[in-house]
Structure 1
């Protein structure tokens, strides 16, 4: 049903696996892990322009907060007129609220697509969404753009001894499907890889939230709803990753870590760029106003009409 997401995601993953597999070997676990990481980087690079517009939208919304509060106070008893005036204010300043949430809306189906494609390398489970294939049938069934050879390469790959498509909580039937492809991994081996990734992902989520909150305007920080969301981002979301980590496959944890690494770097790059643009614009405005203001003691420049002698 979501093939329009699954095929592009699997195609990008396939490309990066072929690239890293040519250097490290197709069955190398690091080749598959790097393919997941660079899949994330590729998608985030495609979303960089909307992300920059999102930051500009957020900055613009913060600047419009005083005017928006004034409109809310003026039309407190007339919701319809308030909506009209809000839309008028947004139109006057070229403000588009949709741009504030577009990158997050795009990333959600990408995450779902990556999870589904990676899960489809091991279809021997019997839970929800699983196909209960035999290990032999699973190893000989293509997975979207991945051929049978690619599926078997994925099953053979290990990251520090653990397949990247399993989680700490993976059922024994799923683990046993790897018997002919490098042996059945132990839960201890999977945990030794997954737990550090869980901790790194949780810490990265926390510090990204802290960096984002440090750039909030004083008005936004005083907003009760913003304060609640800030606490959720700082503490509840990272804790949620630690709690849900045992149920996430290693590849998804790799996705989460690499996504947070990109977010941290992107925040510094985008904010530094926008700060430079705003500083340059402020300097240009100041210089323009200074050039238009007469110097102390200087005569004001008269227009052509004023410069003509008076006719008697």
Structure 2
């Protein structure tokens, strides 16, 4: 791995050293402030470079949300044919110009820098030169403390290893636990904000269930792996979580997903300020609904006696209707009998000798 990521080690260490020189003008060059702010600045620089990918991630996420009903229909239609299902999915992605991997681009692009920083801090903890960090800078960074915890220390380090870094085990564990909790909480709130404010809740899709599951899974993953991260890596990851949270809040406020809670709130604010151009038909329909609601009469409250009288009247009306329904079949039967009576009359008998049909003329007899 060192051979593959060697150039990245050099790049990450060089950026940290440049920021360290800048902050050494204000703070002590061996202090945790100089080295800690250098790591924070590294995060900010990386995240600024990743803004175009973040924009693509937002667009890809929205496209995936919009395609979820169609994707679900394809899965139901070809649930017994996996190959055809995959072909139809790829066809759908191609027609809509959607790439499912676009939502993972910022994480994938940031991962090499995270691994490089982890290895750089790991080598600093082992007192090894890395990249442009020589022995003097490694010693300075190794012994720099952030709130009493060395940058290279971990929660799982032994007491002897922590003492070698001129620190106490209690201080290291308190600082790392607080940072792990803040890191997990920021991750949870970021995901929760996305689920509650920037998702179209009118469409229930499997994508929403996946996002809801990740909202609880990611903080647990950070907590488990965080106990093995050096303090410097915790600073890096906490900073990138806070940056993501702020960036997402800005996007949700400025350009929320249509149909989401944030979108409705933004539409209401624009409408109140008169900056929203609405369709006249929608305005008339809304006014008609409001007028109907305003003119709707509320039912009057009745006393107990009035309620009893109304109930008795309803019972009497019901009894009359039932009686009329019972009499209706008998009347129908009588009417049918009377209609059949003329048919049963006997036809008058014909006189004897009367023939049916026209009579044939008699031939004259021959004389």
TM-score, normalised with respect to structure 2: 0.63
Contact 1:37/1:255 (CA < 8 Å) preserved in 2? yes
Residues 157, 218 of structure 1: alpha-carbon distance in 2 compared, 3 angstrom cutoff: same
Distance 1:47 1:85 in 2: 32
Query: How far has the Cα of 1:233 moved from its partner?
Result: 2.4
Aligned counterpart in structure 2 of residue 151 of structure 1, from 138, 149, 163: 138
How many Å apart are 1:166 and its aligned residue?
0.4
Offset at 1:169? 1.9
CA RMSD of aligned residues (A): 3.1
Equivalent residue for 1:216, pick from 199, 206, 215:
199
Which structure's relative contact order is higher, taking Cα pairs within 8 Å and 6+ residues apart? Answer: 1
Q: CA deviation at 1:106?
A: 1.7
Superposition misfits of 4+ residues, deviation over 6 angstroms: 276-280, 283-287
Deviation of the 1:264 alpha carbon? 0.3
User: Structure 1 residue 194 and structure 2 residue 197: aligned?
Assistant: no
Structure 1 112/220 Cα, relative in aligned 2: closer, same or farther at 3 Å? farther
Match of 2:66?
63
Q: How far, CA to CA, are the matches of 1:198 and 1:18 in structure 2? A: 28
The answer to whether the 8 A contact 2:11-2:131 is kept is no
Q: Distance in 2 between matches of 1:71 and 1:203?
A: 37
SS at match of 1:71: helix
Contact 1:122–1:174 (8 Å) recurs in 2: no
Is contact 1:52-1:270 (8 Å) kept?
no
**Rg larger in 1 or in 2?**
2
Is 1:11 aligned to residue 14 of structure 2?
yes
What 5-or-longer segments of structure 2 have no aligned partner? 268-274, 283-367
Q: Select 2:43's aligned residue among 40, 43, 49.
A: 40
Which structure 1 segments of 5+ residues have no match? 124-137, 179-183, 291-312
Alignment-derived partner of residue 106 in structure 1: 109
Q: Structure 1 residue 273: deviation in Å?
A: 3.7
Q: Look up the SS of the partner of 1:24 in the other structure.
A: coil
Contact 1:166 1:250 in 2 (8 A): yes
SS across alignment from 1:212:
helix
Contact 1:17 1:35 in 2 (8 A): yes
